[in-house]
Structure formats: C-alpha cells, structure tokens
Amino acid sequence: MQNLLKTTDVILISFVQSLLQDRGIGCLVFDENISITEGSIGLFPRRIMVDDDDFDIAERTLSEAGLADELLSCDK
C-alpha cells in the first residue's frame, strides 16, 4: 500500500474516499483511531492509503478533481 494523501481535514478525507469509490478504487484511512486518543480535536493527520496497483490512477483522479496541491504536500 502507498500513502496517497495525508491531512487533518475530515471533509477532504470524505471527498477523496467518494472520488476513489466512484472510480472503483479501494482505500483505507490509517490513523483514524488516534482521533479517539487525542480527544477528537483533529491534531494528528490521517493517511489515505491505496494499493500499489491503484496508486497512479488514484493520484490522477485526485489531480483531475483539483486536489494536486494536496498530493504534493503528502510525505511519500
């Protein structure tokens, strides 16, 4: 799996999940449970992970949706 995106923005996470689902690309959100530990204040970023085989199309999908800047800020 590869890290596609890293953010604290839960709305962005939901949007990205929807975009990927529409393209038939599965994804997992890592670090969601840290939110419970931190008291749900959104301090720690969550990572959207995709399979290695789907990474290029997922990256292209987000770029086409105008989220290229979000991808560039990701620690890959």
- CATH for 32: 3.30.70.790
**Alpha-helical regions (H) of the chain:** 10-22, 34-38, 55-64, 68-72
Please, which pLDDT band fits residue 74 given cuts at 50, 70 and 90? low
At 27, list the tokens: 């994804």
Q: How many structural domains comprise the chain?
A: 1
Domain that holds residue 18: 2-72
Task: For 2-57, write each residue's pLDDT tens digit.
Answer: 999 999 898 999 999 999 999 999 999 998 877 666 666 667 889 999 999 999 99
